Amino acid sequence: MKAILKENGNETVLREGTFDEIKGYLNSELDNLLDWLDDAENNWNDFETLKKEIKEQIENAENIEDLEYAFEEVNEEMSWWGIYFEGGNKNENKQY
């Protein structure tokens, strides 16, 4: 499976591996991935709380759908930027 950053129509693979590897990457790099959004024009009332909620959702994720849900609000707000996922099925933990 892959974690992909989509920015202004460009796609960059952030990490490729198993579900657990992707989850670990997102946990360790979440601040780097999201901190700049606090300065971006957005409608978040409390960005630190949003970031904590995303981190908690990542930590508790059991499948790719849970990871997608964790980033749903950010992806919708920032129409030109987002974190998306490819590959992997529900509860699947295999290398792609």
Distance of CA 74 to the CA centre of its chain: 9
Look at residue 91 in the predicted model and tell me its pLDDT.
44
Q: Is the pLDDT of residue 27 over 90?
A: yes
Asked if 43 contacts 28 with a C-beta cutoff of 8 angstroms, the reply is no
What pLDDT is attached to residue 26? 96
Determine the pLDDT at residue 31.
Answer: 87
Question: Is 47 in contact with 37 (CB distance < 8 Å)?
Answer: yes
Task: Report whether pLDDT(93) > 70.
Answer: no
pLDDT at 41: 57
- What mean pLDDT do residues 34-62 have? 82
* Strand-pair partners of 12: 5
Mean pLDDT of 56-84: 92
pLDDT of the residue at 44: 66
pTM of this structure? 0.81
